[in-house]
Chain A
């Protein structure tokens, strides 16, 4: 039989046949590893989770015209093309026009409703999003003024010759006007300026005004880090003529501060758990060594060198660390998943790489925790075994 076989036999027998004591150490390691791998999973998943949460608070980049000309679809598409399509969560172009409803001057906004739904998830709608041409979303404030409800119809009037004013209603008949009737599908509640507008589709706006391919701005929601966002904004502004991209600072910055604070917290908890695990493993191993002083003395009496004693105890400790790490990586995922589902309402992916990493870390942590106890084992005097008690 090889020496290694005997070595393995001894350390596994010690773990398997002296279960109760080793279970305590194993439990400490497994709990530590569980929390560690769970927190690390959350640590790396938080940015994604938080990113998604924060995008609920709106777009983080906007395109505006850099000159006096408005934005064209070509320019917008060119700018969008510079952003990695995986990172582009949604885009909504906007075009604003002055219109009148019952002689009242109002603002109509044209947008892509699908895009707006993505970039403005915080919009609360009493009713439905418009799904086809001829449908409109009316801001709450305007809806109150005009006494409109979902399901009503409203006629938008556009003055083809220029500015629409309520100053000279008597001249109405002489003016060249265009009007379109819309069905109100929903009332928009945002708490912001949008409550003053009437939103219609881009195609409807074009038929109402007779002018196409002009936009005042575009809102984008991009899932990328602060640096990357800045890079994008810079690149787009310089490469696309007549268009300037900038970040919506307030949201993106708070996203980052909250994120880094959260990550720091997770890191802190991780370190504390790591320390507690080490203390627990070290004390348990110390107790194990004390309990086995006689055995150590005997092994030495039989001719074991200090090196062999260190190898054997370390072997047991590291094996325990590996088993604890394996258990921890599994329970850690379950733990992280539970946290993710309860806190962020979304599930996380299982990263296979975390299994070997957790095992490695827990073997390392156990190894470090075992240094002092194992060293104390080598201090045992073999003469002690002959002193009959």
Chain B
């Protein structure tokens, strides 16, 4: 069974169809890139997959459950247990240190565990910055904290919306390396990006335009 199955999903804002009859299947352990121009509905799709929004029409089957039909409370639970989120804007809590930001995610999921949070920061190469506030970290470092936070609860699926949009080349490569590592560990990855270089490293790329999926590219030279 596929981990995620999107069937005929539309999201309608008044006269505007942000998503228009989208069909998409994502297998367990797959690394998918979503591309498309600004305003094409990428974030809307991520919000729906991430259980933060519901489609106007269609079904979204995540792990056998149609999230389009669940209550907000249930969606919060699914999100907490199955989804890891990485944002273009990082969205770290500015008055908490790096390690505390990671622990917030543990706090809502189960139990805060500083040791585990430190290990997560170590994995993204930030052990020595753990006690810094976000304002004392560079953009690349903040994004790595955000990644550590997304991974801390071992989500089944990691959603990254333009994760490298605010990063320079060097940091972009660091993030890509982390994604590769995640993929090798079997994590399902969905990455929205503008950047062809980020899309190229994925197994498959789909392209959205005006809320429709217009193209699908399988990466022939994908290196495991």
Interface of A toward B, CB cutoff 8 Å: 1-3, 5-7, 9-10, 13-14, 16-18, 294-295, 298-305, 308, 381-383, 385-388
Say whether, besides A1-B111, A308-B108, A303 and B95 are in contact (CB < 8 Å): no
From A2, A294, A301, B79 is in contact (CB under 8 Å) with: A301
Q: How long is the Cα–Cα vector from A301 to B51 in the complex, in angstroms?
A: 9
| Residues 5-39 of B at the A interface (beta carbon under 8 Å) | none
Chain A CB within 8 A of B147 CB? no
- Report the nearest A residue to B48, measured CB to CB: A383
Q: How long is the Cα–Cα vector from A308 to B113 in the complex, in angstroms?
A: 18
A386–B52 contact, CB under 8 A? yes
Q: Identify the interface centre among A18, A295, A386: most chain B CB within 10 Å of its CB.
A: A386
Q: How long is the Cα–Cα vector from A14 to B101 in the complex, in angstroms?
A: 12
A301–B112 contact, CB under 8 A? no
A1–B165 contact, CB under 8 A? no
| Residue interface mask B43-80, A partner, CB < 8 A = 1 | 10011001011000000000000000000010011011
Say whether, besides A298-B93, A308-B108, A383 and B76 are in contact (CB < 8 Å): no
Q: How long is the Cα–Cα vector from A272 to B138 in the complex, in angstroms?
A: 49
Q: How long is the Cα–Cα vector from A90 to B71 in the complex, in angstroms?
A: 77
B43–A388 contact, CB under 8 A? yes
Interface of B toward A, CB cutoff 8 Å: 43, 46-47, 50, 52-53, 73, 76-77, 79-81, 85, 87-89, 91, 93-96, 100, 103-109, 111-114, 133, 149, 161-162, 165
Q: How long is the Cα–Cα vector from A243 to B109 in the complex, in angstroms?
A: 83
A388–B111 contact, CB under 8 A? no
From A14, A294, A300, A303, B109 is in contact (CB under 8 Å) with: A303
From A3, A385, A386, B111 is in contact (CB under 8 Å) with: A3
Q: How long is the Cα–Cα vector from A386 to B13 in the complex, in angstroms?
A: 17
A3–B88 contact, CB under 8 A? no
Which residues of A sit under 8 angstroms from B114, Cβ to Cβ?
Answer: 1
Q: How long is the Cα–Cα vector from A308 to B114 in the complex, in angstroms?
A: 20
A299–B108 contact, CB under 8 A? yes
- Report the nearest A residue to B114, measured CB to CB: A1
B76–A303 contact, CB under 8 A? yes
- Closest CB of chain B to A304's CB: distance in Å? 5
Which residues of A sit under 8 angstroms from B53, Cβ to Cβ?
Answer: 381, 383
Say whether, besides A303-B108, A382-B52, A18 and B95 are in contact (CB < 8 Å): yes
Say whether, besides A13-B95, A18-B95, A300-B76, A1 and B52 are in contact (CB < 8 Å): no
B112–A6 contact, CB under 8 A? yes
Q: How long is the Cα–Cα vector from A190 to B50 in the complex, in angstroms?
A: 90
B91–A298 contact, CB under 8 A? yes
B52–A302 contact, CB under 8 A? no
- Report the nearest A residue to B43, measured CB to CB: A386
Q: How long is the Cα–Cα vector from A14 to B100 in the complex, in angstroms?
A: 12
Sampled A-B contacts (27; CB under 8 Å): A1-B114, A2-B112, A3-B107, A6-B104, A7-B107, A13-B95, A13-B96, A17-B94, A18-B94, A299-B93, A299-B104, A300-B76, A301-B79, A302-B80, A302-B105, A302-B108, A303-B76, A303-B81, A305-B73, A382-B52, A386-B46, A386-B52, A386-B85, A386-B87, A387-B43, A388-B161, A388-B162
Q: Which 7 A-B pairs have the closest CB atoms?
A: A303-B80, A17-B95, A6-B112, A303-B108, A383-B52, A382-B52, A383-B47
Which residues of A sit under 8 angstroms from B109, Cβ to Cβ?
Answer: 302-303
Q: How long is the Cα–Cα vector from A187 to B81 in the complex, in angstroms?
A: 95
Given A10-B104, A303-B77, A303-B81: 14 more A-B contacts, CB < 8 Å: A1-B103, A1-B113, A6-B106, A10-B100, A17-B133, A295-B93, A299-B93, A382-B52, A383-B47, A383-B53, A385-B89, A386-B50, A386-B87, A388-B165
Q: Identify the interface centre among B43, B93, B165: most chain A CB within 10 Å of its CB.
A: B93
Q: How long is the Cα–Cα vector from A205 to B80 in the complex, in angstroms?
A: 98
Q: How long is the Cα–Cα vector from A299 to B101 in the complex, in angstroms?
A: 10
- Closest CB of chain B to A18's CB: distance in Å? 5
- Report the nearest A residue to B85, measured CB to CB: A301
Q: How long is the Cα–Cα vector from A200 to B203 in the complex, in angstroms?
A: 117
B88–A388 contact, CB under 8 A? yes
Q: How long is the Cα–Cα vector from A382 to B78 in the complex, in angstroms?
A: 14
Q: How long is the Cα–Cα vector from A387 to B52 in the complex, in angstroms?
A: 11
- Closest CB of chain B to A111's CB: distance in Å? 75
